[in-house]
């Protein structure tokens, strides 16, 4: 039987040994297959992130669980794989993912005031923990654009992080500290001092969203300041798109979707390899 692991099983070791587990967001079957195959080849644990929009695109949460478990069985995937809802916007959405078999969820109630964020997040934790599903939550607000999640940045404070963690019992925390989803306008400006302070005051792992476009030296610094999970979405999409654009121009008569979509496979895998090696590089 194919078993998914929850976030705790993967992230606690990363926190102790100071490296970061990648969350790669999936969009379709090809994405999922490439990520599973490359991470198996590299023999590293991976978190498959699924936004609400991506889940809907793939048919729904049950379709995603079936696809991931089916691929893991058919491809003989033996590395730890966590299937994680990215930016769940409500208790109902998180519940649907959990009921379908996701092993981890993020409840993003960061658009609400802190007390409301705590109360929504706690409801998700109470439900999720009955099924050994782990919960990530956000405090402050991560800026930029990803599917239906957008807005301007608002950095987290230590006090708010402590209140959210103590008031909910979450398993990992994404404090907004200057990273944004999608492409950066100018250089990223991460607040490493607050990041390190938050890490020193918490026992749960910290998550960095908006991994695309953060230079390698800042990624390494973030890991040294306590980041144990780094989310990457846009960068894989750009790598895939560049390769497919070239293929279509070079092969105008090829119409087989397997060849067109698959022409981005190597580029996706190369980007995964680059990220995994950097995140494990202490």
Q: Pick the closer one to ligand 13P by CB: 176 or 247.
A: 176
* Residues at the contact surface with ligand 13P, assessed by CB under 6 A: 25, 49, 86, 146, 181-182, 209-212, 231-235
Residue placing its CB nearer to ligand 13P in the complex, 198 or 230 = 230
CB of 73 to ligand 13P, least distance (A): 27
State which residue, 195 or 247, has the beta carbon closest to ligand 13P.
195
Report d(CA 99, CA 196) in Å as an integer.
35
- State in angstroms the smallest separation of the CB of 231 from ligand 13P: 3
C-beta of 109 vs 232, nearer to ligand 13P: 232
Residue 6 or 25 with smaller CB distance to ligand 13P: 25
Q: Which residue has the tokens 């301007």?
A: 152
Q: Which is nearer to ligand 13P, 65 or 230 (CB)?
A: 230
Which class for 154: exposed (0-12), middle (13-18), buried (19 or more C-beta within 10 A)?
A: middle
For tokens 């993003």, name the residue: 108
Q: Report the nearest approach of ligand 13P to the CB of residue 271 (Å).
A: 11
φ/ψ (deg, to 5) at 52: -60, -40
Catalytically annotated residue among 86, 108, 147, 199: 86
The distance of closest approach from Cβ of residue 110 to ligand 13P in the complex, given in angstroms and rounded to an integer, is: 12
**Catalytic (active site) residue 86:** yes
Q: Give least dist CB 181 to ligand 13P, A.
A: 5
- Compute the least distance from the CB of residue 230 to ligand 13P, in Å: 8
b/e map 99-124, b = 16+ CB within 10 Å = ebbbbbbbbbbbeeebeebbebbbbb
The residues annotated as belonging to the active site are: 86
């Amino acid at each position: 039987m194919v078993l998914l692991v929850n976030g705790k099983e993967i992230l606690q070791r990363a926190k102790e040994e100071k490296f970061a587990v990648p969350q790669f967001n999936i969009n379709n079957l090809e994405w999922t297959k490439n990520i599973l195959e490359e991470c198996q080849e590299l023999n590293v644990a991976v978190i498959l992130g699924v936004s609400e929009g991506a889940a809907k695109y793939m048919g729904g949460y049950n379709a995603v669980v079936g696809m991931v478990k089916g691929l893991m069985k058919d491809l003989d995937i033996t590395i730890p794989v966590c299937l994680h809802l990215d930016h769940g916007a409500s208790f109902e959405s998180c519940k649907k993912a959990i009921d379908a078999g996701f092993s981890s969820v993020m409840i993003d109630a960061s658009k609400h005031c802190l007390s409301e964020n705590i109360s929504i997040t706690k409801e998700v934790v109470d439900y999720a923990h009955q099924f050994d599903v782990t919960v990530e939550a956000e405090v402050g607000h991560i800026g930029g654009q990803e599917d239906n999640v957008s807005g301007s940045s608002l950095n987290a404070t230590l006090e708010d992080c402590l209140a959210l963690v103590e008031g909910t019992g979450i398993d990992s925390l994404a404090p907004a500290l200057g990273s944004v989803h999608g492409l950066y306008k100018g250089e990223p400006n991460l607040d490493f001092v607050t990041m390190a302070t938050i890490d020193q005051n918490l026992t749960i792992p910290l998550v960095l969203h908006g991994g695309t476009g953060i230079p390698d030296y800042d990624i390494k610094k973030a890991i040294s300041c306590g980041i144990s999970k780094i989310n990457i979405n846009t960068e894989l999409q750009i790598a895939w798109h560049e390769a497919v654009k070239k293929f279509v121009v070079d092969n105008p008569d090829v119409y087989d979707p397997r060849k067109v979509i698959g022409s981005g496979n190597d580029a996706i895998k190369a980007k995964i390899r680059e990220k995994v090696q950097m995140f494990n590089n202490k």
